[in-house]
Amino acid sequence: MAQLNWVFYSLIPIFILYHLFVSPYTKVEESFNLQAIHDILIHGIPSENYDQFLTANYDHISFPGSVPRTFAGALVLSGLSRPWVWLFSSTSQLQLLVRAVLGLSNAAALIAFGRSVEKAFGSSAGIWYALLQASQFHINYYASRTLPNMFALIFSNLALRSFLNVYATAWTRAKASKNYRLSLYLLTIAGVVFRSELALLVATITLYLFATRRISITGVIIPAGLGGLVIGLLCTVSIDSFFWQSFPLWPEWTAFYYNTIQGHSADWGVSPWKFYFLEAIPRLMINPLTYLLCIPVAVLNPVTATRCRDLLIPLLSFVSLYSFLPHKEWRFIIYVIPGLTAVAAVGASWIWTRRAKSIIYSILSLALVGSVLASFATSTAILAISSLNYPGGAAIEYLHNRIHHDQDRHHQAYFDNLACQTGVTRFLESHDGPQTVLDTLEVHDFTNSRAWTYSKTEDPDLLLDPLFWSEFDYVLAERPEKVIGSWSVVGVIYGYNGVRVLKPGEKSSGNQIEPVDMVERKTAMSEDITSKIAKSWKNLEGMLRETALRGWWIEVKMEPKIRILKNNLRHRGEKL
């Protein structure tokens, strides 16, 4: 039975990697850590002339953001990725490598938590946990994305594992205190280093355990709190004071002060108190039977009620308290989803093991199986649509790999805001001259044929200067009319523009990857990943709409997002 369970657990890393390869590009929210990893891997860490070296080579000096962020995750992920660099032949492949390492680290933590579910609630509960977790979308999709939340998610899952391990071994107060202490250690460190909101989760777990007399102030609370705080501060302050060349620096405190105390997080939008419960959690769990059926069954069942409440009460209390902050995003509460999924798995296991005892359990069991299959299908569909949201990444790959360039000359390119927001990273750039201190990278000669420099400036005065534009060979532009000079469109990158439910007999609107002029007609159907997925969706319509869905369909609308422009004056006589 244990070997069978590992078959189901393997679905978690498989689907995380599947989501990574279907949607390989990134967005601006992930950029700080991704650019930092690039700079550490490619340029190395200076041993002298620190300030000059960092200023010349590191992205965060040029684009520091509104508040500093920690380098701790980027440093560790760079170290974990470093032994595998020799297997790859381009920096764009290295981007996939570092994301895969992060995704697999999250997968390992999810499986470790799943194993504690199995030990605490039984083998069947472990299998259902694996199925429910693997069939969700958001954790699979974002587990490999270099958001601070995804680094913190590793710690929170390991903390929940220790929390459940109290039930997985023969109970003694000493063993229980040790597991609870480790759980609070991990959460405190993650809160200090990566995401300050985890301090609230530490508080709700601590208060619940103290109120139920599981822990004492001197035995667990003070050692875990002080120990986690000291370890976290030693890590982040030492690392980040060096990389930011400012001592002492605690980035997560700076971000907390800026966003929460000064209230700047509200600048990004305000949501009602109920958002997390009525919108975020149902969307994150994706399968409605998990929260409408399975969790209630697990909580109401006398056999499992106490252990399930031990998970639910601290997690839902965290969500309730965090709901009072005006700005809300699903990623702020992502840490509770594996725990809620575990409780749902307990309810699903209870129903499944009784499927032969009554017709009601049989029907509910079939409904659970059907809901999991539907969740996998829904998650895959959302993945296909989500992958269409990265025109910047597709555009820079198109620029380097699908347009003929004169290899004997230096090229300059300008990337506008949309391109930088939706996929342009240093891993995808092609730089001039030697830039690496790593022997493995030099063996692969990543720097050959790299005659490119780039500009991402948003200076309004420069953008109105014709001389500024005359310096560039290529421009990635959302609005070509703002680019001054004589330019030709040599590539068009399409992106997602919404969905529409088509009724039987209703035709599509026609704005799905349609060329807008004769120059674009040559390039619009290029076989990048965006157009491949869009064409596959169109092929599915032909296969399924009339035969299986009786004329119903969901139209995925596309529109031109970024034009790749070529400077006519700098490329006279060349063909488009």
What would the mean pLDDT of 290-294 be, rounded to a whole number?
A: 97
pLDDT in tens, 186-202: 999 999 999 999 999 99
Helix locations, 72-122, DSSP H? 72-81, 91-121
Predicted pLDDT of residue 525: 35
- Residue partners of 231: CB distance under 8 A and separation at least 6: 185, 189
Give the 3-state DSSP-derived string for 359-391, with helices as H, strands as E and coil as C: HHHHHHHHHHHHHHHHHHHHHHHHHHHHHHHCH
| Calpha distance 284→375 (Å, rounded) | 11
User: Residue 573's pLDDT band (boundaries 50, 70, 90)?
Assistant: low
Helix, strand, coil content of the chain in percent (nearest 5): 65, 10, 30
pLDDT in tens, 472-512: 999 999 999 999 999 999 999 998 888 888 888 887 765 55
DSSP letter assigned to residue 301: S
pLDDT > 60? residue 66: yes
Predicted pLDDT of residue 513: 45
pLDDT > 80? residue 541: no
Predicted pLDDT of residue 530: 63
| Calpha distance 332→188 (Å, rounded) | 16
DSSP letter assigned to residue 257: I
